[in-house]
Structure 1
Amino acid sequence: MTTVEIEYCVPCGFLERAEAVQHALLSQFGEGIDELALVTGDHGIFEVRVDGEVVFEKSEDEFDVDRITRDVRAYVS
């Protein structure tokens, strides 16, 4: 069971980024992901977590949908 959460900052306008990652992951992995949730946040957050483990964090990584997709691949069975 693979669960993905994309937490994004609403006041920062990161919804489009979150939707881009969501679309890429669902297009790439389809049924390999059991749950994919967009989680609203604030204070500049943009994190992608798979089964509770952070695979992307905006303050540490440069935003790249393809890289995020590659990083998530390791968790999808």
Structure 2
Amino acid sequence: MTTVEIEYCVPCGFRERALDVQRAILTGLETELDELSLVMGGHGIFQVRADGDVIYDKSEDDLDVDGIVREIRERTR
């Protein structure tokens, strides 16, 4: 099973974005995950990690929620 963390910048107002990503992950993969957590951060961060590996970083990629879900799904197989 897989552990997923979504770390988002609180001062930047990324909470709604984090909740949207969390909702999409739960909708597609809820029964395949051990844990899904939101981690409050700062300094402009918005990352999604699966088992400690960064699978999305806003500083490097455009936000593609479906792509994030697909990547996590691949890791759960």
1:68 to partner: Cα distance: 1.1
| Paired position in structure 1 for 2:53 | 53
RMSD: 0.8
- How many angstroms does 1:75 deviate by? 1.0
Equivalent AA in structure 2 for residue 14 of structure 1: F
TM-score by structure 1 length?
0.95
Q: Residues 23-42 of structure 1: matches in 2 within 5 Å?
A: 23-42=23-42
Q: How does 1:7-26 map to 2 (within 5 A)?
A: 7-26=7-26
Unmatched segments (≥5 aa) in structure 2: none
* Cα deviation digits, residues 28-69 of structure 1 (max 9, x gap): 012101100000000000000000000000000001211111
Q: How many residues were matched structurally?
A: 77
SS in 2 for 1:49: strand
- State the alpha-carbon separation in 1 of the partners of residues 21 and 50 from structure 2: 13
Instruction: Flag as ranges the 4+ runs of structure 1 deviating above 4 A.
Output: none
Cα displacement (A) at 1:76: 1.5
After TM superposition, the score normalised by the length of structure 2 is: 0.95
CA distance in structure 1 between the partners assigned to 2:21 and 2:76 by the alignment = 15
Secondary structure of 2:66's aligned partner: helix
Q: Describe the SS at the equivalent of 1:59.
A: coil
Which runs of 5 or more structure 1 residues have no equivalent in the other structure?
none
